[in-house]
Amino acid sequence: MRVLVTGANGYLGRGIIDELLALGNEVIATDLSCDRVNSKAKRVEGNLFEVKDPYHYFNEPDVLLHLAWRDGFVHMSSAHLEDLPKHVAFLTQMCESGIQQIACMGSMHEIGFHEGSIHDDTPCWPMNMYGIAKNALRDALQIIAKQNNVLFQWLRGYYIVSNTQYGNSIFSKIVAAAQDGKKEFPFTMGKNQYDFLDYPQFCQQVALAISQHDVLGIINICSGEPEKLSDRVERFIRENDLDIKLKYGAFPDRPYDSKAVWGDNTKISSIVKKLKDDKE
C-alpha cells in the first residue's frame, strides 16, 4: 500500500518508515527537511500546512500516518494550541478527498494523572498543553473520519527507549551528556513507574498497526508492563556501557506525572500475533 508519513524526518518518523519499507509498502515521506529519511522512500520537503490539495499533491496515498507535531517534548509550549487548527484543517482535507485510512500519533499525556492500566475508555483529563491539544485532535478526527467513512486509528504512545543522542527523551539526553564527557546526570528520585518500549519495537508496532484494517480506534503502542523509572534508566546506562551516574533528587517530579501508569497492550498484541501467524 501507499503510505504518506508526515513528520518523517523526526525521531519517530525515520524508524517507522524503515519498518514500513521492510513490510513492502510504498512510502511518501514529508517534512520541512527529509535529509535523514531512508532514500527508498519518496521524499517531499515543504510546509505541510501550506499545501492546498494534499491528497492529490502527495499522489493519492492509501494511508496517512500523521506524526507531524511541533514542540512535542515541550509540554507547555504555546505551539500546541496554536497549531491545532492547522492539524484539523489538514486532516479534514485528507478525509474529504478520498483517503481510506488515517492513523495519528497520540500520547499518554492525553490521559492526565492516572494510576494503573490505560484502556480505550479511560477518561482523559490532560494536565498540560501538549495533552490538551492531542486530546482535542483525537476527538475531532474521530468525528471527521466517521463522517467521511475513513478508517480511524489513534496510536497512543508511551515512553520510548533509544540509545541515540538525537531526540528529547531522557534516554537521548543521557547519551548526549555522556558523549559530552559529563559524569553526572541530574535526575528526579525516579520512583514513578511507566510503560517503556524499545525504539525498534515501537517503530515495528506502529508499522504493523497501520498495515491492517481489523483493529481500529485507540491502539496503545506499549509494552503493557510498568517499570520504575530509576530501574529502567540504570539498566539503560549499563546496557550501553555509559560512563555516567544519576544525580538523584536534582529535579522534583512533575505534578502531572502519574505514580504508576502503563498501557493495555491487548490490541497491539493481537495485531502482532495475527500478522506473525499469517507469515507462518
Residues labelled catalytic: 130
DSSP character at residue 8: T
- Helix residue ranges per DSSP H, the chain: 11-22, 54-57, 79-97, 129-147, 170-179, 199-210, 229-239, 266-279
Assign residue 180 a region (left: φ > 0; alpha: ψ between -120 and 50; beta: otherwise). Answer: alpha
Q: Which residues contact 229 (CB under 8 A, 6 or more apart)?
A: 188, 190, 191, 192, 193, 194
Residue 164, amino acid: T
Collapsed DSSP state (helix, strand, coil) of residue 180: coil
Is 42 within 8 Å of 29 (Cβ atoms)? yes
How far apart are alpha carbons 133 and 8 in whole angstroms? 20
Is 68 within 8 Å of 48 (Cβ atoms)? yes
- The residue written with cell numbers 559524569 in the block is 183
Give which of 113, 208, 118, 116 is closest to 157, Cα–Cα: 118
Q: Which residues contact 135 (CB under 8 A, 6 or more apart)?
A: 110, 124, 126
